[in-house]
Amino acid sequence: MTGLKNRFRPGSIIWLTILWMGLQGEFTIANLLAGLVLALLITFGLPLPAMPIYGLRINWGPFFQLMGSWIFNLMLASAKVAWLALRPQAPPKTSIVQVPMRVQNDLVLAFGTMLFNLQPGGSVTDIDIANRMWTIHLLDTDTEEQLQAEIANVATLERRLINAFERS
């Protein structure tokens, strides 16, 4: 019985119900009831493990700096990749490199991976959690300077994540 008690999360059930009604496009009693039933089925039938959020604090100033810089870099990377696709030259050289990630919390590491993968121009292909190492695929690394600049961008993301979530 304690297992069921631990799975009941009213906030999750309410959020899933609202999400379902939003996906349906209209707020009706039938959609409300269907969303509630689906939310209960998902919550009790497909429980997620507890998130490792011990000691995690959001430092709001650095968090907003992280998100602002990420949005700015998203626009720059999108323009850069669009230019690489449209320019009248051969495709750029790509690289696969390993870079360390010094973030301590697994949730912060997953959040950083998501932020990196959502930007065009590179993607995390492997995460070595034990050694805190990303293997990343980078686009447009024709020169050593371009490669080092991309690695520096990862280090900047790492520093911003640490400042936003792991420093008090």
Give 4-36 pLDDT, tens digit per residue: 566 677 888 999 999 999 999 988 999 999 999
Q: Is residue 12 part of a domain?
A: yes
- pLDDT recorded at residue 94: 94
Q: Are residues 21 and 79 in the same domain?
A: no
pLDDT tens per residue, range 66-112: 999 999 999 999 999 999 999 999 999 999 999 999 998 888 999 99
pLDDT tens per residue, range 121-136: 999 999 999 999 999 9
53-57, 83-87, 162-166: least confidently modelled range? 53-57
Residue 162 has pLDDT above 80, yes or no: yes
Q: Specify the DSSP class assigned to residue 129.
A: T
Cα 26 to chain center, whole Å? 30
Closest by Cα among 126, 142, 146 to 134: 126
* Burial class of 162 by CB neighbour count within 10 A (0 to 12, 13 to 18, 19+): buried
Task: Kindly indicate the confidence band of residue 1, based on its pLDDT and cuts at 50, 70 and 90.
Answer: very low
Q: Is residue 68 part of a domain?
A: yes
Structural domains of the chain, count: 2
**DSSP symbols for 108-129:** HHHHHHHHHHHSTTEEEEEEET
- pLDDT recorded at residue 52: 65
Helix (H, G, I), strand (E, B) or coil at 95: strand
Q: Are residues 34 and 76 in the same domain?
A: no
Task: Kindly indicate the confidence band of residue 166, based on its pLDDT and cuts at 50, 70 and 90.
Answer: confident
One-letter amino acid at 77 equals A
Q: Are residues 66 and 27 in the same domain?
A: no
Q: Is residue 24 part of a domain?
A: yes
- pLDDT recorded at residue 53: 67
**Domain membership of residue 37 as a residue range:** 2-45
Residue 148 has pLDDT above 90, yes or no: yes
- pLDDT recorded at residue 168: 64
Q: Are residues 13 and 65 in the same domain?
A: no
Q: Is residue 158 part of a domain?
A: yes
- pLDDT recorded at residue 45: 86
Helix (H, G, I), strand (E, B) or coil at 125: strand
- pLDDT recorded at residue 69: 96
Neighbours of 64 (CB within 10 A): 11
